[in-house]
Structure 1
């Protein structure tokens, strides 16, 4: 075989076997938080993943790009953000036996337009010094007089607290949720301000005894030299609803309507719910896997076990307007 023939044969082979396409993701999570799991996917499949951090306006960006959008997937946190993407009409349903088998029905869209990847519980951080074991019981109990002047929380109209209030609506109706929100407001030690970590700092400083917060902030505080002392001053308690479990929210993924690399994107989505990826992803962010068989990180497992509330997240999203109105009517942040 001549050199020319050899070169032509190589060229023909290259045409016959085109390079594997990349997967492009718009994400509201800092890329360094999810890069390791993407690297593991690339190592396993040879498919590169390109992450673009979009701090806000994902829906507007996807609408502006239209069919020319390079984005295959969107990754974000909180059911409110996922529902906003759904309402924007910029994603498409995905049919996958792998995804529906791995992700519980309460943690994915009924039409398979989005899927949960990790869970975070909205729990109570309780002072180790001033709150006895067993003193925190239910979410409903947070509105009782025994907590007067003892509760700290971030804004009542923040997505995290609106989702929790929506869960109260789901369990007790609009009137019951309004009574609950007013009761919790009366028990606040100070005006809502700051993020979830700021509430733990307030407990450490003696300004309040308990606070509402997401579980993963404990991991983040323990990794920050300045905040470790705050974290060690509290313990995580998993309240439940009187007729349910502990309120959870998610990080999730959805395929864009444009998705130029659909097959590769679906391959990545399915990989993200595999035992390997679930363990990596959850450990990176101090969260809980949605896949029941995936291993928890040692730190997260040390926080204790809980039973997640089974109200579908889509139902919580539908109650968000009511929850926002309730928080405004009771002047929760006033």
Structure 2
């Protein structure tokens, strides 16, 4: 028997009433499953990202954070590891993960389209999701120049005027590895000796302390990551004076560009939630996540077309070194050996 228009309307309304709560539940994340992330990022830095991901996809994000040893942990856990994704803050961590055999190749047209070739593994075992530059902090009062090369840091004119954290720190290790890639190991050793001769004090502290010591007049220039200066300037009132006493100079290698490092991800070899892990990784290079990286974490977006935070853009136009990150990673062991050979931290 044909139904009346009124009856059809009632039926459709009832279906809609049932479907609406179901859609709302999907947004909460319960039916969509979960993804387990091992991360070197501070919880407060990744929380906005993961909260937005869950809101968009309904996938719950479980995190385990540590300052070291996550690659070893995944390897030890073996096939029973709950890890789906490893999120790192340095190319060295990614290389170690690959060397330990805990990564699996990622097949993704999205990642290949968005992430520039120099910021991904040739074998697709890792991809960058954001970038930072290793730059020079300089005294506003005592340093007039606004341009400098990495090679110039070893110039005797800076004798007794340079501050830096340990040469074995992961960020300095990556920079020194880039020096080896550009100059060759022999010239890199001479450069490192020259840089050591210019130190005002024993390498110590972190990048923030480099700015502190410049502000205090203990040295005139130092080396730090782009985002630390922005954090001091915008988010850390007790350190704002250190930023105000210094300026950021974007150094370059002669004939090349500014040294870059990355935050990157791998998909764990035994990921129990592989599909959700891949979905998270692809989401991290999307416009929303890239904007969060830029505005919340003061990092350079990997995705073309997403602009850096105004404070970061205020450092000047970035001419990123085209040297592939994977090439830098191959020189990290040699860089660590040179640091010990020249007694850089002594």
TM-score for both structures, normalised by structure 2:
0.89
Question: In 2, distance between residues paired with 1:55 and 1:146?
Answer: 37
Distance 2:172 2:67 in 1: 20
Number of aligned pairs?
319
| Per-residue CA distance 1:5-56 (angstroms, 9 max, x = gap) | xxxxx9xxx9xx9932211101111222111111111111111211221332
Partner of 2:209: 198
Preserved contact between residue 71 and residue 93 of structure 2 (Cα < 8 Å):
no
Q: For residue 286 of structure 1, what is the aligned residue in structure 2?
A: 298
* C-alpha distance after superposition, 1:290-318 (max 9, x if no partner): 11211222222222221111111111111
Q: Structure 1, residues 115-141: CA drift from partner, whole Å, max 9, x if none? A: 11111100000100000033x420001
- Which residue of the partner structure matches residue 5 of structure 1? none
Q: Distance in 1 between matches of 2:303 and 2:286?
A: 8
Give the Cα separation in 2 of the matches to 1:212 and 1:279. Answer: 26
User: Is 1:96 the equivalent of 2:89?
Assistant: no
Find the counterpart in structure 1 of residue 336 from structure 2: 324
Tell me what 1:78 maps to. Answer: 90
Match of 1:307 in 2: 319
Aligned CA distance change for structure 1 residues 324 and 55 (closer, same or farther; 3 Å):
closer
Match of 1:213 among 206, 220, 224: 224
Aligned-pair CA distance for 1:215:
0.6
Determine if contact 1:171/1:243 at 8 Å carries over to the other structure.
Answer: no
Q: Describe the SS at the equivalent of 2:238.
A: coil
Question: Is the counterpart of residue 118 in structure 1 residue 130 in structure 2?
Answer: yes
Contact 2:31/2:58, CA 8 A, preserved across alignment: no
Task: For residue 211 of structure 1, give the secondary structure of its aligned residue in structure 2.
Answer: strand
The alignment yields a C-alpha RMSD, in angstroms, of 1.6
TM-score, normalization: structure 1?
0.92
Contact 1:275/1:295 (8 A) holds in 2:
no
Q: Deviations over 1:194-241 (max 9, x none)?
A: 111111101000010000010110122122222110011001100100
Structure 2, gaps ≥5 residues long: 1-17
Q: Provide the rounded CA distance (Å) in 2 between the counterparts of 1:79 and 1:329.
A: 23
Match for 2:64 among 52, 59, 65?
52
Aligned counterpart, 2:150: 139
Distance 1:166 1:57 in 2: 21
Q: Aligned with 1:316: secondary structure?
A: helix
